Amino acid sequence: MAVNFSNDPTAVGFFAPTRFEADVLECEVIKGEVPKEIDGAFYRLGWDWFYPPRLPNDAGPFSGDGYMGMFRIRNGRVSYRGRYVRTPRFLANLEAGRQLFGVYRNRATDDPSVRHINRTVANTAPFVHAGRLFALKEDALPVEMDPNTLETRGFWDFNGKYRAQTFTAHPKPDMETGEMICYGYQATGDLSRDVFVYFVDRNGEVTREVRFQAPIVSMMHDIAITPKHIVFNTSGFVTNPEWMKAGNVMWGWDPSAPTYVAILPRDGEGKDVRWFKGPTRAAVHLLTAETVGNKVIVETPVSDGNPFPFFPQMDGSPWNPKLAVTTLRRWTFDLSSKKDTWEEEIVFPNAPGALPRIDDRFYGLPYRYGFMGYADPSRPFDEKRAGNVGGRVTNVYGRFDLRTGRIVGNYFVGEVGSLQECQFIPRSRNAPEGDGWLIGVASNYAEMHSELVIADAQRLDEGDVARIRLPFRLNSQVHGWWANADQLPLV
């Protein structure tokens, strides 16, 4: 049975699977100069179907094979390497020569021959802690990869001290303490309400575990930390045994599901979790949070409806693109109040975007700036040259001043491009917050290749300081991570 994507309607154009692993020993710089101060690696993880999906109702961004990319930057030169994550699933498929696994997080849809094989695709977010590089996805343990060769080393369970069956795609580094705060939801198996939280020290040792239960089974994709609290949230993405039995992807959108937010004191136990309850929302990716007196303030992109068209509406209603629009909002939780609700303020109503970043050095610390790609419809898009790429595209990176509520500078990718999630590179170890560069990948639709762009984070309006051309399209990124050379044993 030969590999053939001709029956896969998504395998065309810029977003078709790339299907190859690549090394570009030195990349072409088509504009500007790569700052010589930059020394580190920009990792990007995403999906790339190596074999076509087994079932048409699968969700590519969640089920496509994990593919890690690395831009190594040093001395003004850039190299690129891309490798599939060799998960047990990837290897089982490779042996069979076809896709054996069914839809996202629903084992009943798999080929019976792989019933006992871990089905993660490890395709969501790269993360670096204690000198190790991980490929993360919330349905399994971290997959460790060699930070230079991108060889897959296998699952990492923290010497047996991490006991959840799952691990978030978005642990949080506390740059003050060096700790990593991480968790797994559905920690004891599919559809369980168990959440296990772990504190891991700067050497990678688990120092503490906290267990609690969520009121519902819902996607709990990200958290935010402050020096005193950890914030968890559910969303309209829920599931149940009947939904699973019908052969669906795990998540459906329930337009009537309340949103639950858990606030756990960092020194507390499971019993100390305080739950809040609000209207249906999706806050998939949290920017970050602060504790100010008795208040916990979370700043995060939020949508009122289903942001992911590939996860069906549970009530059979059509997907509503208006309710999918995600804007940066402020959620204020008053711990001194007896109420179980919170205040929501839309801080940036006109900058729709869903993948926010901060200067990573300020996780768990007071902060002022956020960085995020968003769609600015006032910018030109040359549909004729770019071809039919559909919808409105993320065409700018903005610098968001959370103190004033103003966007202070944005970077425009150009008339035939779009932008993927950016990362922040500090100018130096002790540079002030936000002093550094944004780095991210642009899709050049007109020329069908990808570009790496580097812009001065404080001078976004001046355009990129360097633009690097890849000789091919890159696979679709979900998230990225920047690692300075002092954080990994980079060669």
Query: Which residues in this chain contact its own copies in the complex, by CB under 8 A?
Result: 2-6, 17-30, 33-34, 50, 76-77, 80, 84, 94, 97, 448, 471-472
Neighbours of 54 (CB within 10 A): 17
| Residue of 316, 252, 299 whose CA lies nearest to 280 | 252
The minimum distance between CB 19 and its own copies, in angstroms, equals 5
> What would you measure as the largest C-alpha separation in the chain, in angstroms?
64
Q: Is 408 helix (H, G, I), strand (E, B) or coil?
A: strand
Q: Identify which of residues 79 and 188 has a Cβ nearer to its own copies in the complex.
A: 79
Cα–Cα distance measured from residue 410 to residue 371, given in angstroms and rounded to the nearest whole number: 9
**Cβ–Cβ < 8 Å for 18, 11:** no
Q: Identify which of residues 51 and 367 has a Cβ nearer to its own copies in the complex.
A: 51
The minimum distance between CB 444 and its own copies, in angstroms, equals 14
Nearest 5°: the CA angle 90, 13, 412 is: 105
The minimum distance between CB 397 and its own copies, in angstroms, equals 22
Strand order in the sheet with 476-484: 77-84, 66-74, 40-47, 476-484
Q: Identify which of residues 50 and 333 has a Cβ nearer to its own copies in the complex.
A: 50
DSSP state of 282: B
Beta bridge partners of 483: 41
Q: Identify which of residues 19 and 107 has a Cβ nearer to its own copies in the complex.
A: 19
| Residue of 469, 473, 475, 474 whose CA lies nearest to 454 | 469
The minimum distance between CB 426 and its own copies, in angstroms, equals 23
**Cβ–Cβ < 8 Å for 164, 174:** no
Q: Identify which of residues 346 and 448 has a Cβ nearer to its own copies in the complex.
A: 448
Q: Output the CA–CA distances (angstroms, integers) from residue 102 to 55, 92, 257, 260, 340, in the order listed.
A: 6, 13, 26, 30, 39
Cα–Cα distance measured from residue 249 to residue 138, given in angstroms and rounded to the nearest whole number: 15
The minimum distance between CB 475 and its own copies, in angstroms, equals 11
Q: Identify which of residues 220 and 468 has a Cβ nearer to its own copies in the complex.
A: 468
The minimum distance between CB 386 and its own copies, in angstroms, equals 16
Q: Which two tokens stand for residue 10?
A: 């998504």
Q: Identify which of residues 5 and 156 has a Cβ nearer to its own copies in the complex.
A: 5
The minimum distance between CB 48 and its own copies, in angstroms, equals 10
Q: Identify which of residues 202 and 469 has a Cβ nearer to its own copies in the complex.
A: 469
**Cβ–Cβ < 8 Å for 440, 470:** no
The minimum distance between CB 467 and its own copies, in angstroms, equals 11
Cα–Cα distance measured from residue 472 to residue 126, given in angstroms and rounded to the nearest whole number: 22
| Residue of 397, 380, 439 whose CA lies nearest to 69 | 439
The minimum distance between CB 76 and its own copies, in angstroms, equals 7
Residue with tokens 């154009």: 13
The minimum distance between CB 34 and its own copies, in angstroms, equals 7
Q: Identify which of residues 300 and 476 has a Cβ nearer to its own copies in the complex.
A: 476
Burial 297-333 (b: 16+ CB within 10 A, else e): bbbbbbbbbbbbebbbbbeeeebeeebbbbbbbbbeb
The minimum distance between CB 310 and its own copies, in angstroms, equals 23
Q: Identify which of residues 18 and 410 has a Cβ nearer to its own copies in the complex.
A: 18
Q: Is 6 helix (H, G, I), strand (E, B) or coil?
A: coil
Q: Identify which of residues 223 and 455 has a Cβ nearer to its own copies in the complex.
A: 455
Burial of residue 446 (CB within 10 Å: 0-12, 13-18, 19+) is: middle
Q: Identify which of residues 30 and 346 has a Cβ nearer to its own copies in the complex.
A: 30
Q: Output the CA–CA distances (angstroms, integers) from residue 68 to 26, 328, 372, in the order listed.
A: 18, 28, 21
| Residue of 192, 163, 191 whose CA lies nearest to 182 | 163
Q: Which two tokens stand for residue 185?
A: 């939801």
Q: Is 192 helix (H, G, I), strand (E, B) or coil?
A: coil
The minimum distance between CB 414 and its own copies, in angstroms, equals 16
